[in-house]
Protein backbone atom coordinates (compact mmCIF):
# COMPACT_ATOMS: atom_id res chain seq x y z
CA UNK A 1 0.00 0.00 0.00
CA UNK A 2 1.20 3.48 -0.83
CA UNK A 3 1.79 5.29 2.50
CA UNK A 4 0.90 8.64 0.91
CA UNK A 5 -2.47 7.29 -0.28
CA UNK A 6 -3.11 5.79 3.13
CA UNK A 7 -2.38 9.11 4.85
CA UNK A 8 -4.54 10.95 2.31
CA UNK A 9 -7.44 8.59 3.05
CA UNK A 10 -6.98 8.90 6.79
CA UNK A 11 -6.83 12.70 6.61
CA UNK A 12 -9.91 12.82 4.38
CA UNK A 13 -12.06 10.71 6.71
CA UNK A 14 -10.81 12.48 9.83
CA UNK A 15 -11.36 15.93 8.34
CA UNK A 16 -14.87 15.06 7.15
CA UNK A 17 -15.81 13.84 10.63
CA UNK A 18 -14.29 16.93 12.25
CA UNK A 19 -16.24 19.23 9.95
CA UNK A 20 -19.51 17.59 11.01
CA UNK A 21 -18.57 17.94 14.69
CA UNK A 22 -17.36 21.51 14.17
CA UNK A 23 -20.44 22.70 12.28
CA UNK A 24 -22.92 24.58 14.49
CA UNK A 25 -25.90 22.39 15.36
CA UNK A 26 -28.56 25.09 15.08
CA UNK A 27 -31.76 24.42 13.17
CA UNK A 28 -31.68 20.66 12.62
CA UNK A 29 -34.86 18.64 12.84
CA UNK A 30 -32.96 15.32 12.58
CA UNK A 31 -30.31 13.74 14.78
CA UNK A 32 -27.05 13.05 12.97
CA UNK A 33 -27.68 9.28 13.29
CA UNK A 34 -31.12 9.62 11.72
CA UNK A 35 -29.74 11.89 9.03
CA UNK A 36 -27.04 9.34 8.14
CA UNK A 37 -29.63 6.59 7.69
CA UNK A 38 -32.00 8.81 5.76
CA UNK A 39 -29.20 10.10 3.51
CA UNK A 40 -28.06 6.55 2.80
CA UNK A 41 -31.61 5.57 1.79
CA UNK A 42 -31.91 8.63 -0.44
CA UNK A 43 -28.52 8.00 -2.04
CA UNK A 44 -28.85 4.22 -2.44
CA UNK A 45 -32.59 3.69 -2.83
CA UNK A 46 -34.77 1.12 -1.05
CA UNK A 47 -32.65 -1.04 1.27
CA UNK A 48 -33.22 -4.06 3.49
CA UNK A 49 -32.73 -3.44 7.20
CA UNK A 50 -29.98 -6.09 7.35
CA UNK A 51 -28.08 -4.38 4.54
CA UNK A 52 -28.61 -0.97 6.12
CA UNK A 53 -27.23 -2.30 9.43
CA UNK A 54 -24.15 -3.71 7.68
CA UNK A 55 -23.53 -0.49 5.75
CA UNK A 56 -23.91 1.59 8.92
CA UNK A 57 -21.72 -0.85 10.89
CA UNK A 58 -24.49 -1.15 13.43
CA UNK A 59 -26.61 -3.93 14.86
CA UNK A 60 -29.87 -4.82 13.18
CA UNK A 61 -31.90 -4.03 16.36
CA UNK A 62 -30.31 -0.57 16.57
CA UNK A 63 -31.12 0.19 12.93
CA UNK A 64 -34.63 -1.21 13.40
CA UNK A 65 -35.19 1.24 16.27
CA UNK A 66 -33.96 4.16 14.16
CA UNK A 67 -36.19 3.06 11.28
CA UNK A 68 -39.22 2.81 13.59
CA UNK A 69 -38.64 6.40 14.76
CA UNK A 70 -38.14 7.63 11.20
CA UNK A 71 -41.27 5.77 10.12
CA UNK A 72 -43.31 7.26 12.99
CA UNK A 73 -42.20 10.70 11.79
CA UNK A 74 -43.27 9.87 8.23
CA UNK A 75 -39.71 10.09 6.88
CA UNK A 76 -39.39 6.47 5.72
CA UNK A 77 -41.75 3.65 4.91
CA UNK A 78 -41.39 -0.10 5.25
CA UNK A 79 -42.48 -2.32 2.39
CA UNK A 80 -42.22 -6.07 2.01
CA UNK A 81 -39.44 -7.23 -0.25
CA UNK A 82 -40.83 -8.54 -3.54
CA UNK A 83 -38.26 -11.35 -3.45
CA UNK A 84 -38.99 -12.38 0.17
CA UNK A 85 -42.19 -11.28 1.90
CA UNK A 86 -40.61 -11.96 5.33
CA UNK A 87 -38.13 -9.13 4.78
CA UNK A 88 -38.70 -5.38 5.06
CA UNK A 89 -37.30 -2.90 2.55
CA UNK A 90 -36.93 0.67 3.79
CA UNK A 91 -37.54 3.63 1.48
CA UNK A 92 -37.27 7.38 2.10
CA UNK A 93 -40.59 9.17 1.72
CA UNK A 94 -41.09 12.52 0.00
CA UNK A 95 -41.21 14.12 3.46
CA UNK A 96 -37.96 12.37 4.38
CA UNK A 97 -36.34 13.74 1.24
CA UNK A 98 -37.67 17.21 2.04
CA UNK A 99 -36.33 17.15 5.59
CA UNK A 100 -32.96 15.83 4.44
CA UNK A 101 -32.74 18.65 1.90
CA UNK A 102 -33.68 21.14 4.62
CA UNK A 103 -30.95 19.77 6.88
CA UNK A 104 -28.37 19.97 4.08
CA UNK A 105 -29.47 23.55 3.42
CA UNK A 106 -29.07 24.35 7.13
CA UNK A 107 -25.61 22.76 7.15
CA UNK A 108 -24.63 25.03 4.28
CA UNK A 109 -26.03 28.04 6.10
CA UNK A 110 -24.13 27.13 9.27
CA UNK A 111 -20.81 26.66 7.45
CA UNK A 112 -21.14 29.70 5.19
CA UNK A 113 -19.63 32.23 7.64
CA UNK A 114 -16.52 30.06 8.04
CA UNK A 115 -16.13 29.69 4.28
CA UNK A 116 -16.42 33.46 3.95
CA UNK A 117 -13.20 33.75 5.99
CA UNK A 118 -11.27 31.96 3.24
CA UNK A 119 -9.69 33.80 0.36
CA UNK A 120 -11.31 33.46 -3.06
CA UNK A 121 -8.27 31.40 -4.12
CA UNK A 122 -8.75 28.99 -1.20
CA UNK A 123 -12.47 28.69 -1.95
CA UNK A 124 -11.61 27.86 -5.58
CA UNK A 125 -9.23 25.14 -4.38
CA UNK A 126 -11.91 23.80 -2.07
CA UNK A 127 -14.39 23.67 -4.99
CA UNK A 128 -11.81 21.76 -7.06
CA UNK A 129 -11.29 19.32 -4.19
CA UNK A 130 -15.05 18.81 -3.86
CA UNK A 131 -15.28 18.05 -7.58
CA UNK A 132 -12.64 15.36 -7.14
CA UNK A 133 -14.51 13.97 -4.10
CA UNK A 134 -17.75 13.78 -6.07
CA UNK A 135 -15.91 11.93 -8.85
CA UNK A 136 -14.47 9.50 -6.30
CA UNK A 137 -17.89 8.96 -4.70
CA UNK A 138 -19.49 8.27 -8.09
CA UNK A 139 -17.19 5.26 -8.47
CA UNK A 140 -18.82 3.54 -5.47
CA UNK A 141 -22.52 3.41 -4.71
CA UNK A 142 -22.41 2.73 -0.95
pTM beyond 0.85: no
Q: 72: burial class by Cβ within 10 Å (0-12, 13-18, 19+)?
A: exposed
Architecture of domain 30-138: Orthogonal Bundle (1.10)
Average pLDDT over residues 116-141: 91
Q: Can you name the residues that pair with 76 across neighbouring β-strands?
A: 92
- 94-116 vs 32-44: helix crossing angle, rounded to 10: 110
pLDDT at 141: 60
Average pLDDT, the chain: 90
The answer to whether residues 107 and 74 touch, using CB atoms and an 8 Å cutoff, is no
Q: What is the pLDDT of residues 53-107, one digit of tens each?
A: 999 999 999 999 999 999 999 999 999 988 888 888 999 999 999 999 998 898 8
Q: How confident is the model at residue 31 (pLDDT cuts 50, 70, 90)?
A: confident
Per-domain boundaries in the chain = 30-138
pLDDT for residue 142 is more than 70: no
Amino acid sequence: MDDDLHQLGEDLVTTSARIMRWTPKDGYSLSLASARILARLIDNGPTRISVLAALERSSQPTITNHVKRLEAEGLVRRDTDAADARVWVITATDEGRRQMQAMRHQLGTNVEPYLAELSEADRAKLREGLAVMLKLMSLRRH
